[in-house]
Each structure stands twice: as C-alpha cells, then as structure tokens.
A and B are shown apart, each in its own frame.
Chain A
C-alpha cells in the first residue's frame, strides 16, 4: 500500500493531472477543492503529505498552512505548495509559513513526483 497524499486544489483539470501521475506511481490520492474546511479534512484523513494550492476559494493556501503548522499533529507534515501567481513574494510567504517545498505552475510532472517522493521519504 502506497503512501497517502492529499491534494488540495480547485482547478479540475489540474486535480485530474496530478491524481493521474501520483496514482500511476502507487500513491493513494485524496483530493479536496476548497479552502473553507481544508484544515479539518487534513486532520480527518491524516495524509503522509499534502499538495496545497495558494489560490483557493474560501481560504487561501498560506492561511491553511499557518493553521496546520500551529496544530501539533500537523506541525511537521510535509507540504508541497503550488502557485500560479509565480511572484517572489509568494515564495517568501511560503517560506515564512513553513512550506516544505514550493513550486510554480506550470510544473513538470517529473518534478512534482520527485518532490513528493523526497518529502515523504524524509
């Protein structure tokens, strides 16, 4: 049984693409597509890592990350952040709130896969 990844992303096509890639690599992929209850979903599903988009309806990715880092059980959870805004400021914000890794869309599938593997292997 592969490790468990939770993908929090609102763009259906991107969800489909990432799910496809990770599933083929043997990961168990759960998806969630809004920011409101994302933190609760993370606690419920207790994934081995999450992939988190920044621009989410309801609550943005940085906010979610901050809340995750504040809770003891998710303080060390590996988080790969994805953003389409691609500005330096976003990278700084991600570092500040404690993202494990930060990637800009569009990404290469191989990179995402490698990052997920590396983060969970640690």
Chain B
C-alpha cells in the first residue's frame, strides 16, 4: 500500500475517531453524565482553537521568514489570560446572564438589541473569517500535496482544488451533525468541544514530537541546536519594536473578538471558575506550542533546499529524513488545527448569520407574526445548517479565487486586524455606560472601511483590486489618501499602519459619536445591565405585562424551544406565581425571562422583536423606563441611602411628635392643675377678704353678724391651710422623695388609731373579719397607712347620703402571686359613685357631683400615692351598693419599699 493511501486511511480513521468522541460526549451529556465534560481542562484545551493551521504550520514559516516575531501571536492571548482575565470574566458573566450567542449578539444586545448592528457585525465577521477558513483549507491541501510529492510518480492530490472541496464538504457535514444538534446556543456543544479538546492534544503532541525529533534526532542535542540557531539568520534578526507592540495588541484583541474564540471562551463556557484554570493552563499550552518553532525553522532552513516552503517544514523535515510515521502524526496535528478552527468558526458564524440575518428576514417575509407562522424551531435549525454550508462554500470559493498564493501568516494577520475592529464597541460596551449605538456603528464602520482600504484590499496584491496608481498617488490624485500611507504617514509597515489608523479612527469615532449622541431608553437599560453585570444579578423589567396572551406566548415558545421545554418553563413560572395549570400570567418578569430563553435560540434582537410582536409593539412603558433606565448603580445606591435616611428621619419625626404630644399633654395637665389650684386657693381667700372688708368697713354691724363672719374667716383660713398641706403632701408623694417611717405594726392598731382620730360623728363603723389578736403585723409606715384610712372614713362621713350612714370595714386575707395580701374593703351604704365618675375619682381635684362638702378633691389622689409608695394599691369596688374602696397591701412586704 502506498504511503498516500495509508495517509488517506489514517485521516479517515482519525475523522471517524473524532465523530465517535463527539458522539460519545453528546450521549454522555444527554444522559446527564457529563461531569468529566465540564472539567476546566477540557475548557482550556478547547481554547486552543486559537492555534489554527496557521499557527501549527505557519509559525515555523513565520520564524523562518521573520525570526522571533511569531512569538507575538502567542504573547497577546497570554497577556489577556494572565493580566486581563477579569475582562474575560465579565464577558462570560454577561454572556451567561444575557444568554448571548455570539459577538454580534453581544454588541447588538448591548446597544439596545439593535438589528442593524447585529447584521453589520455578522457581515464583518463573515468577511473577516472567510479568508481564514480558506487558509485552513489551503493548509490541509498543501500538507497532503507535500506528502504526495515525496512519493515518486504519484498523481494523488495533484488537483489541490478537489482535495480542498472534499475537506470542505467533510467539515460541513461534521459541523452540521454536531454543531446544530441543540438549538439553544447556551446548551453547549459538548460533542464539538470534546472533539476539539482531543484535537488540541493531538496537535500539541505532534508538534512536540517533531520538535524532539528535530532537536535530538537531527540537530544532535540541545547545545548543537542552539549553536545552529545562533549561526542562522533567525538569531540575527532585529526585533522591530513597533511591529512587536502592534502584533501583540492585534493578537490580544483578536483573541477576544474572533467569533470562534468568543464561541469557546464565552458561549461554551460551563463555569466561570474554569477561567481560573485556563488563566495559567492556556498560556502554558501556548508556550509548549511555541517551544520548538525556532529549532524546526532553523533545521528546516539548513536541511531543505532553498525555495522549499517554510510553512510546511513541520511536515517536510521529518519526510526528508524518512520519518514517514512522524510526518503522518504531524499531518494529523495540522489537520486537527485546521478542522477544529473551521468547525468552531462555522458554528459561530452560522449562529450569527441565522439569528441576525436569516431569521429576521424570514420573520418579515414569511407573511405572519411569530405566533401565527410555522415551526420556527425547524426554520432556525435549517437556517443554521444552510449557513454552515454557505460559510464553508465561501471559504472554498475564496481559496479557489486567491489561488493559494499568499503566505499563510499574512492572511491570518489581515483577518485578525479585521475582527479587532469589534474591540472598541465591545470593551466600551461592557465598561462604559455612555457608549451608544450610534457610536458603535460609527466606530465599526470607520474601522472597517479603513481596514478594507488600507489592508484587506491591498492584500490581494498591488493592482489586483486597487489600481497601482492609487498606491502611488492616492485616489483621484489625493496623496494623503494613499492606502498604505494614510494622512501622509509614509514608510510604515503596511500592517501596523493599517492597524494603527483603523483602530485609532474606530475608537475615536466610537467615543466621539457616543458622546454626541443620546442613547435610547432600551440602550441605557442594556448598558446598565452590561456594565454593572456583577451588581445586577437580576435584569430590570422592561416588558409591561397584561397585553400579551399567555396562549400566544406559549405557542411561540413551543415553536422555538420545543414543546416539552416550553411547557416546563411555563409550568415552573405558573407554579412560581401560585397558579394552577401551565399558563402563567404574562408578568413583565416572566416576559423578560422568556425573552432571555428565546434569545438563547434566536439571538437577543430577534427574541425581542418576537415578543414585541405578541405583546404589541409597546415594549417598554414610559414609567418603566423612567424607573429603570435612569438608574445607574450609583443612583440606586444613592437612592437607597436616601431611603434609609428618610426612614430614619421619619422615625425621628415620629419620636419627636410622640415626645411633643406627651409634653403638650403634660403642659395641658399642668395648666389644668394650676388652674385648679388657683381656684381652690382663691375661693377661700375670696371669702376671707370679703368678710374681713365687711368687718372693717361696715358700720353698725351686729354682734351676731360679727361673730358669724369671724368664724367664716377662721374656717376658710383653716381650709386654706389644709389645702396647702394636702398639696405639699401630694407633691412630695408624687416626686418620690417621701421618707417612710417603716415599722412592724399590727394592722388592728393602725385601724383603731385611724377610727379614733376621725371624729366619727353620726357615721356608724362596723368592722368584720377583725383581727383582734393582732397577729396580722404589717411592715409599713403606720402614719401614712392611717392617713389613708382616715381619708376613707372622712369621705364616708362627707359623702354618704344614707339616712343612717354605716361604713363597713371588711378584712380578708388572700393568697395571691408572690405572697399573701391583706385586703381591707371600706363599704358605705350611700348611693355610691356613678359609673362614669369611678374612673376619675383618684385624680387630683376630682370632686364629683354637686356636693358642697369641704375638701379640694385631693384625698383619694393622696391615698393612691401613699399606697403606691407602700407597695400596695387602692381601687374602687363597683357594685357594692354604696361607695366601696379596696385597699390591698402585701403581708410579707417586699424589700423594695420605696424608701
């Protein structure tokens, strides 16, 4: 069997292996046994699609042509992963929370779900990527041809275009099979990721194997190889600072903006935590990939005849040494690099093309709204499959047209510079809230025009697209518009020149137009969510519910998400809203979630439009926008601070009001009290003054009158004195500064003393339950307690209106609470106290009724205060026939008598 036939066989076997791996991974993921698929290493390896055939073969060619400059292509991504991992983390977080499906989706979603931007970015990505796909096809065909050329008289692979066609068809099939299984781009492509992870391992092993062979097998060890390097041209090439800086920037930018890198970095990311591993593991991978590039280049330059293609040294060096097996491994490595890139790139591009171009067009021209038309799910899948085929066809066509003449690396860099134009809109979008849709459009347009004019079109060769005179004299003779010497800057490296101008003008236009234009409400909404993605875990509401009918939403969701998934989404929501059945209320919250789910399948702009169709155009109410759009995180924080302050103020105000009310109340009470005191004092004084004036001024006053008026004056003076005594007594009691003279005294003794000292008059006093033996001993102030008893007896004397007034004093003991209580009831046989008056009798000056009995109404108030000091209480006992007061005191007095 010829080597070529073996090669074809090996390639088929390898392809079959990839199919199997992808298939197995899909099955495992489907069964939920996908833990090993979610390892951070698989994620890291999948990032290696950055190393395409251009890197695999081209790096050696690059080194052979330009020395160490090839390293810049590795340094850029390394810097991003090590130093700028937080940018990647933010992108991943945004991608997840907004269900972002692609670069175009990210940019359009950020700038108000703009369809125009989505289409623009998609077209630019296709233009930028097509040459790159062509490049991969070219590398595969070249490598096959190189193999065939060592075989004498072989005609295999002579027609490189046929080879390229078969490769393209095979890749299209693989991608369609594993890239369009899941509709939801956020349901990751486990099969594809696993296959490219395997390919990543294969290409690393292949390159290292060739490297080891070259160093130890051909070069004769490390030292001799190093000596060779020193002797070669590579060692003497000068490092051009500006070119290095430009290339590092370019590769770093491309690492973030290339559609395929976005696909593996953000869309296929399972877990933000994987970034931590990738941050060191991916740079390590890149370092290993670059380790043997220079030795291979140097040995290749030495060994192979001048004029042989240095881009193929990885393959041709082992072949020339007769190491067919190693060469085959190397070819598989190159094959892996090319295929993994093409697969992921075409998945990423097809998602963009179908979501942002095909589906919106189809929605518009299919003659009906989203809810009325057929099964969108199939349409989306078909659109993706067709897009994949078209993209590969475009790549193949480009390959045919360009004729495979250009150096591989050059195409790669042109492509990098193209997609790097996304960078300002992307970074600006996730870090600067002021960035607007108009700004993004302006920046992207300017950047792309400059890129196309100064780099892409000239890359076809002088005179191919742009006439030679334009290069020399500028278009229409305008010299400062010469493609490779814009604005009169001459003599620069054309690549760096184009990158510098396109990026500067792009960024400038982006910032300037953003500053000058005013963002629409939805842009501001999205801007806040993107920029503050770490603060906002939940999206603010933008849909106003109520207009949409849940049935219509359900029908639409089923068509896009599939019946079972849509049903479970709706059921979950209905359950969350506490509703029976499967149709939830179309709350703004739910519409938001639904939109995010849908955008995972068809992209943000389309999902927004579809829900808009059902909800009925008015996607966002003015109130919602006012409430949400203007809220930056700072404003929200500020407002919450204000809210806290306002709550505090309200509380303080409430406290102040309460205190004020209390003070007012006290003041009113004090006024009333003073008014009462004034009245009680002035009344006897009035009599005293009036009668003393009568006695003084009246001539011929009788002796009887004189005697009568004198005794009135006397009585009123005594009343006045008693009143003052009571007032002072009460004020001392109330202030709590009263001094108690506590002794152990038998109750009976105190009671007898009280009765004896109240001139009983016609009041009969009956004692029942009397403790004659004097066994009830109280530890109390006997004088104060006697004062209470005297007051109560005096009240009975004054107010009992019975013909033969009787006061019964009943003693009983009651076990209650902590200790035994002495209870003494004073019940007379009068008409008692009216129910409404009972509540106020213990208040000061509360003389009730129309009695003209002496006394200022302080007696009961004093009783109450005394008993409070003695640790007891006095209450009115209703329903006893006459007026009844109950005095209670603890028998075993508690220690804390208010001494």
Contact = CB atoms under 8 A, between A and B. Distances in A.
Given A10-B852, A13-B716, A86-B678, A109 B694 contact: yes
A17 to B, nearest CB: 4
B117 interface: no
B679 A34 contact: no
A86 to B, nearest CB: 5
A14 B852 contact: no
A106 B683 CA distance: 7
A86 B671 CA distance: 12
A109 B697 contact: yes
A18 B850 contact: no
Interface stretch (B456-464, B685-693, B774-782): B685-693
- Name, among B671, B682, B686, the residue most crowded by chain A CB atoms within 10 Å (CB to CB): B686
Interface string B766-784: 0000000000000000000
A86 B682 contact: yes
Given A84-B679, A85-B678, A85-B679, A13 B698 contact: no
Contacts of A58: 850
Nearest to B851: A57
Given A84-B682, A85-B678, A20 B694 contact: yes
A24 B698 CA distance: 9
A23 to B, nearest CB: 11
Interface string B588-618: 0000000000000000000000000000000
B675 interface: yes
B124 to A, nearest CB: 88
A122 interface: no
Interface in B688-741: 688-691, 693-694, 697-698, 712, 716
A39 interface: no
Nearest to A108: B693
B686 A14 contact: yes
A119 interface: no
Nearest to B850: A57
Contact of A34 (B675, B683, B689, B850): B850
A115 interface: no
Interface of B: 671, 675, 678-679, 682-683, 685-691, 693-694, 697-698, 712, 716, 849-850, 852
A106 B689 contact: yes
A99 to B, nearest CB: 18
Contacts of A108: 689, 693
B688 to A, nearest CB: 7
A84 B689 contact: no
Contacts of A34: 850
A67 interface: no
Interface residues of A, number: 26
Interface in A2-25: 10-14, 16-18, 20-21, 24
Given A13-B716, A105-B686, A107-B689, 16 more contacts: A10-B850, A11-B687, A11-B852, A13-B691, A14-B687, A17-B690, A17-B691, A20-B694, A20-B698, A34-B850, A57-B850, A87-B671, A106-B690, A107-B686, A109-B693, A109-B697
A21 B709 CA distance: 13
Contacts of B685: 105-106
Interface in A80-114: 84-87, 104-110
Interface of A: 10-14, 16-18, 20-21, 24, 34, 55, 57-58, 84-87, 104-110
Nearest to B689: A106
Nearest to A104: B682
Contacts of A87: 671, 675, 678
A55 B189 CA distance: 97
Contact of B686 (A20, A24, A106, A110): A106
A105 to B, nearest CB: 4
A58 B849 CA distance: 9
A48 to B, nearest CB: 22
B672 to A, nearest CB: 10
B635 to A, nearest CB: 54
A54 B688 CA distance: 19
B704 to A, nearest CB: 13
A62 to B, nearest CB: 14
Contacts of B675: 85, 87
B693 A105 contact: no
A34 B678 CA distance: 21
A109 B687 CA distance: 11
A87 B685 CA distance: 16
- 4 nearest CB pairs, A to B: A17-B690, A84-B682, A13-B687, A106-B686
A13 to B, nearest CB: 4
Contacts of A20: 694, 698
Contacts of A55: 679
Contacts of B690: 13-14, 17-18, 21, 106-107, 109
A122 to B, nearest CB: 25
B685 to A, nearest CB: 5
A20 B712 CA distance: 14
A14 to B, nearest CB: 6
8 contacts: A13-B716, A16-B712, A17-B686, A24-B698, A105-B683, A105-B685, A106-B685, A110-B693
A11 B850 contact: no
A31 to B, nearest CB: 14
Contacts of A10: 850, 852
Given A34-B850, A87-B675, A106-B688, A14 B694 contact: no
- Name, among A18, A85, A86, A106, the residue most crowded by chain B CB atoms within 10 Å (CB to CB): A106
Nearest to A105: B686
A48 B686 CA distance: 25
Contacts of B693: 108-110
A12 B688 contact: no
A84 B697 CA distance: 23
Contacts of A109: 690, 693-694, 697
A10 B383 CA distance: 107
A34 B852 CA distance: 11
Contacts of A104: 682
Given A108-B693, A109-B690, A84 B698 contact: no
Contacts of A16: 712
A93 B80 CA distance: 88
B238 to A, nearest CB: 105
Contacts of B678: 84-87
B857 to A, nearest CB: 12
B687 A17 contact: yes
A112 to B, nearest CB: 8
Contacts of A107: 686, 689-690
A24 B697 CA distance: 12
A46 B619 CA distance: 85
Contacts of B691: 13, 17
Contacts of B852: 10-12
A109 B694 CA distance: 8
A87 B691 CA distance: 24
A24 B716 CA distance: 23
A107 to B, nearest CB: 7
Nearest to A90: B675
B694 A84 contact: no
Nearest to B690: A17
A84 B686 contact: yes
Contacts of B682: 84-86, 104-106
A26 to B, nearest CB: 14
- Name, among A14, A24, A105, A107, the residue most crowded by chain B CB atoms within 10 Å (CB to CB): A105
